[in-house]
Amino acid sequence: EIVMTQSPATLSVSPGERATLSCRASQSVSTKIAWYRQKPGQAPRLLIYGASTRAPDIPARFSGSGSGTEFTLTINSPQSEDFAVYYCQQYNDWPPEYTFGQGTKLEIK
């Protein structure tokens, strides 16, 4: 099983600051990684796939980078709705054994 490790567990940023979230895979997943945002009481929402491609209707303040085992989600000037939990997920494994990181909570400083 590919283990996805996210850091930090909690990230405090002030409005207008940049938020940088990290995700590490225990083995290479190429660029088959997605990022999701989950607000309380809601389902996860796809933000980024293929490590760096924004999903439809996702604003440009979200960007993703990385390949292999190290990945980053950057949120420029987070809005109020962005203070939530973020998960990375790999979908490179076959037979499938999709795995998620444990999440990073983005909170307002």
- 78 within 8 A of 13, measured Cβ to Cβ: yes
Nearest approach, Cβ of 17 to another protein (angstroms)? 26
Nearest approach, Cβ of 59 to another protein (angstroms)? 17
| Cβ distance to another protein smaller for residue 20 or 38 | 38
Point out which residues bind another protein (CB under 8 A).
32, 34, 36, 42-46, 49, 55, 87, 89, 91-92, 94-103
The CA–CA distances, whole Å, from 59 to 10, 47, 65 equal 23, 9, 16
Tokens of 11: 């990230």
| Cβ distance to another protein smaller for residue 5 or 77 | 5
Strands 70-76 and 18-25, bridge-based pairing:
antiparallel
| Cβ distance to another protein smaller for residue 67 or 98 | 98
Nearest approach, Cβ of 69 to another protein (angstroms)? 18
Nearest approach, Cβ of 5 to another protein (angstroms)? 12
Alpha-carbon radius of gyration of the chain? 13
Amino acid found at 92: N
